[in-house]
Amino acid sequence: MNQILSVILNAEFGYSVLRVSTPILFATLGALISDKAGVMNIALEGIMLIAALSGVVFSALSGSAGVGLFAAVVAGGLVGLFLAYCALKLRTDIILSGIAINLMASGGTVFALFLIAGDKGISSSLASKVLPKLNIPGISSIPVLGTILSGHNVLTYVAFIMVAATFIFLYRTPLGLRIRAVGENPNAAASVGIGVTKIQYLALTLSGMMAGFGGAYMSMGYVSWFSKNMTAGRGFIALAAEAMGGATPIGSMLTSLLFGFFDALSNTLQLMKIPSEFVNMIPYAATVIGLVVYASQKKRRERKTLESAGAASRAATAADAAAANKE
């Protein structure tokens, strides 16, 4: 136990929490944007995989990490658009569409990898590029804080900037207001002239782009290659993180960090004498527990609102009855 504590209290551990939180955070923000528009993007997992491969392939082809990142984000957006097309135009259940996309992504990326790199497992034969790490002047020289906050991959900083950007986008722009209106009540939104379908198309595309950033980080920052099914459920964890974060940008960030914490913990515990299988389970088990805690609290809150509403209406009826009696 002491050993575990000493690991957690280490500044290096703080660094690795931010490092492993990054892809989850991107995907969680993606889940948030689509959820705000009332559509569930379960394809995040597959989108991240496709983006991760696109990043590797296009950075290897062009010799530029920037091009790779651009390709990954575009690929993510396109898959998001495809999901929107399936769900909104073809009217396939959005969850089944997501399952189909995840399935196609897990096989399709291996298929493409084999055609391009001649290997079904890993892209090591491609000379792909890595996005740079940033040392933040000023902060990097502060003792503990510098170790935790400085020297991260550029996308880690982008992820946290995206939290603010998403907040501003959703709550401070007309378009964000429309997205929230559509998610809150599509009929009401339509009645004031908002194109519900158009907004949902947009939200799913943006959601895909956000997951695209996450995918790019996986293959061009977290590690420097693409490997089969490398996202390992992060897209699904993001769905849980978004729900648990109360569907707000700040909450999503906090829950992403929480899952990142358990992910980092499992990475460091692997060095100790705990069976690695148990350690590997930690992030997923933490997600289930978090999901249950969040859902049960939400249920209780709803019941309370319902009860107070019921009490209010009973009081109103009683007052009405009293008034009627007087007359």
Partner 1 sequence: MTRNQRLFEVVRTGLAILIALLIALVIVLTVSEDPADALYKFLLGPLDSFRHFGNVIELMIPLVFTGVAISIMFSAAQFNLGAEGGFFIGAIATAFVAIKFNLPPVIHPVVAILFGSLVGSLFCGLPAALKVRWGASELVSSLMFNYIAFFFGLFLINYLLRDVNAGAMVSYTFKPTALLPRLVPKTRISYGLIVAVLLVVAAAAFMTKTRWGYRIRLTGANARFAQYSGINTNSVVVYSQVIGGFVAGMGGSIELLGMYTRFSWQSLPGYGWDGVIVAILARNNPLYVPVAAFFLAYLRIGADIMSRYSDVPNEFVTLIQGTIIILIAASSFLAKYRHRLVFKEALESDAKGARR
Q: How far is residue 258 CA from its own chain's centroid?
A: 13
**Which of 133, 299, 304, 314 touches partner 1 by CB under 8 A?**
299
Nearer Cβ to partner 1, position 60 or 239?
A: 239
Question: Which residues, numbered 64-93, are part of the site for partner 1 (CB under 8 A)?
Answer: 86, 89-93
Whether the Cβ atoms of residue 98 and residue 40 lie closer than 8 Å to each other: yes
- Measured in degrees and rounded to the nearest 5, phi and psi for residue 221 equal -155, -60
**Which of 18, 29, 42, 131 touches partner 1 by CB under 8 A?**
42
Nearer Cβ to partner 1, position 106 or 147?
A: 106
**Which of 66, 107, 121, 310 touches partner 1 by CB under 8 A?**
107
Whether the Cβ atoms of residue 15 and residue 148 lie closer than 8 Å to each other: yes
**Which of 108, 151, 186, 246 touches partner 1 by CB under 8 A?**
108
We find the least distance from the C-beta atom of residue 171 to partner 1, in angstroms, to be 25
Whether the Cβ atoms of residue 97 and residue 105 lie closer than 8 Å to each other: no
Specify the pairing of strand 133-134 against strand 152-153.
Answer: antiparallel
- Measured in degrees and rounded to the nearest 5, phi and psi for residue 152 equal -85, 165
Nearer Cβ to partner 1, position 95 or 165?
A: 95
CA dist., res. 278 & res. 264, Å (int): 14
Nearer Cβ to partner 1, position 181 or 263?
A: 263
Angle at 255 between CA 144 and CA 43, to 5 degrees: 125
Question: Which residues, numbered 265-284, are part of the site for partner 1 (CB under 8 A)?
Answer: 275, 277-278, 280-281, 284
We find the least distance from the C-beta atom of residue 300 to partner 1, in angstroms, to be 9
Structure tokens at 196: 């519900």
We find the least distance from the C-beta atom of residue 293 to partner 1, in angstroms, to be 8
* DSSP 8-state assignment for residue 220: I
We find the least distance from the C-beta atom of residue 21 to partner 1, in angstroms, to be 17
Structure tokens at 103: 């399935």
* 100 binding partner 1? (CB under 8 A): yes
**Which of 292, 306, 311, 312 touches partner 1 by CB under 8 A?**
292
Angle at 79 between CA 219 and CA 180, to 5 degrees: 110
Interacting residues of 327 by C-beta distance below 8 A, sequence separation 6+: none
Under the rule (CB under 8 A), what is the footprint of partner 1?
42, 86, 89-93, 95-97, 99-101, 103-104, 106-108, 110-111, 114-115, 120, 233, 236-237, 239-240, 243, 275, 277-278, 280-281, 284-285, 287-288, 291-292, 294-296, 298-299
